[in-house]
């Protein structure tokens, strides 16, 4: 069963930041490939082809996360059964603090 995926505004903003940074650092073709990979990762989450790891209690939210290359994708199930992508954070970021900022936005 494949679930629908919806990006929260913060997650959309993070993707735009990732794209801009990647264009600046490695070029537009690489940025397009990398961001397209997120779409594939979202689809894998929806099909449950990626392992759904539960957020640690420290995060203060009910939800899941998975790694995609150099980033972590965070999501929760919405009341209508849709997967809500809350945010996307680079592995070098302080995950707990940045997640709390983004989840509160």
User: Mind listing the pLDDT tens digit for each residue in 43-56?
Assistant: 999 999 988 999 99
CB contact at 8 A, 60 and 41: no
CATH number for 24: 3.30.2310.20
Per this entry, what is the length of the chain? 105
Kindly tell me if the per-residue pLDDT of 21 is higher than 70. yes
**Domain span at 25:** 5-104
From the list 21, 30, 24, the residue with the least C-alpha distance to 88 is: 21
C-alpha 100/C-alpha 31 separation (Å) is 27
pLDDT at 105: 58
pLDDT, residue 1, reads: 63
For the entire predicted model, the pTM comes to 0.90
pLDDT for 85 equals 97
User: Domain total for the chain?
Assistant: 1
Q: Is the pLDDT of residue 93 over 80?
A: no
Predicted confidence at residue 94, as pLDDT, reads: 72
């Amino acid at each position: 069963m494949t679930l629908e995926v919806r990006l929260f505004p913060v997650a959309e903003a993070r993707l735009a930041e990732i794209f801009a940074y990647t264009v600046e650092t490695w070029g537009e073709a690489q940025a397009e490939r990398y961001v397209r990979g997120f779409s594939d990762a979202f689809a894998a989450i929806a099909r449950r082809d990626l392992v759904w790891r539960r957020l640690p209690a420290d995060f203060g939210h009910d939800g899941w996360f998975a790694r995609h290359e150099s980033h972590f994708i965070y999501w929760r199930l919405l009341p209508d059964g849709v997967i809500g992508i809350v945010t996307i954070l680079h592995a070098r970021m302080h995950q707990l603090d940045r997640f709390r900022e983004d989840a509160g936005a």
